Amino acid sequence: MKESLPNRVSRCVIITGMSGSGKSTALRMFEDLGFYAIENIPPTLLPQLLQVLGRHEEAVQNGVAAVVDIRGESLLDDLFAVIASLKGRGLNIRVIFLDASDSCLVKRFEETRRRHPLSSEITILEAIGRERRELSQIHEIADVVVETSDLTLSQLRNEIFAKMEITEGPLKVIFTSFGFKHGIPQDSDFVIDVRFLPNPFYESKLRPLSGRDKEVQDFILSHDGVSNFFSALSELMEQVTALYRNTGKSIVHIAVGCTGGRHRSVAVAEWLGSKMPDNSSIRHRDIEKDTVVT
């Protein structure tokens, strides 16, 4: 009878391969998907850690991704034994092996000025050859092998997830309204300036309200060309979010600004958020800061 892993951790991805092939980069990609990420863990510690993570919500719901590389002692024997043990206990475990050509690895080490883990007394190229020999058996048993020499970050992500049959969720979008007089949000990815829109501040009945109020939204939309602008903006946001997804981002922060951050930017942020009800959130940074000028 198989022994089940304690408390529901059911999926583990082991990322291994050549030093300089992109293992840490791949780990961050899984972390962005919600996996509990572990950098450079000795294989023998993995079963105990998975037991502890059985009480960690993120690890239980999404899985665990761990980098295991040549720095781990007794890598071959320990890793083979651990994989067999975990599979025997009912864990869905996949091994990803990242590789790259010798010339590419040498170039990466030279560009980053980093020392190869095995090159204390030998050249980088000799260390790469030794590492390749030591990892040859792991290369053979890997579930997924990815050659990273000529891949961009987005291509690497796409290839790994395609071979792992992992479907990414929709891009999360944060819409933040703000006032230019208070400064642009420093962590914004994309900024929209809506100071050209008709200003409700100059309407005495609308001045005390904010862009959350229907009266303000209707006032802005009632002016010539605004409806067409909103349609064009909607199409632009589709293109922008698609391109950001291709860069590997899982969250994009779009800031919408008017002068004070109370009327126009708030209304536009609310409208944009309504177009993405399932994968967006709306924040109004400056809505209460200044009720005199917008």
Residues 195-204 have pLDDT tens digits of 999 999 999 9
Reported as a pLDDT band with limits 50, 70 and 90, residue 293 is: very low
Q: DSSP state, 200?
A: G
Cβ(8)–Cβ(60) below 8 Å: yes
In CATH terms, the superfamily for domain 6-163 is P-loop containing nucleotide triphosphate hydrolases (3.40.50.300)
pLDDT tens column, 119-139: 778 898 999 999 999 899 999
More confident residue, 4 or 75: 75
pLDDT at 6 over 70: no
Average pLDDT over residues 210-233: 95
Q: Where does the chain have alpha helices with state H?
A: 23-32, 46-52, 57-62, 75-88, 102-112, 124-134, 136-141, 153-163, 214-221, 226-246, 264-274
The residue extents of the domains of the chain are 6-163, 172-284
Spatial neighbors of 73 by CB under 8 A, at least 6 apart, are 42
Query: What is the chain's percent helix, strand, coil content, to nearest 5?
Result: 45, 15, 40
90: left (phi over 0), alpha (psi -120 to 50) or beta: left
Of 40-49, 50-59, 70-79, 247-256, the least confident: 70-79
Tell me what pLDDT residue 168 has: 75
For 266-291, how does the pLDDT look when each residue is reduced to its tens digit (9 = 90+)? 999 999 999 988 889 999 999 998 65
Whether the predicted pLDDT of 72 surpasses 50: yes
DSSP H or E stretch at residue 53: none
Here the tokens at position 39 are 């950098």
What is the reported pLDDT for 278? 85
Q: Residue 78: its pLDDT value, please?
A: 84
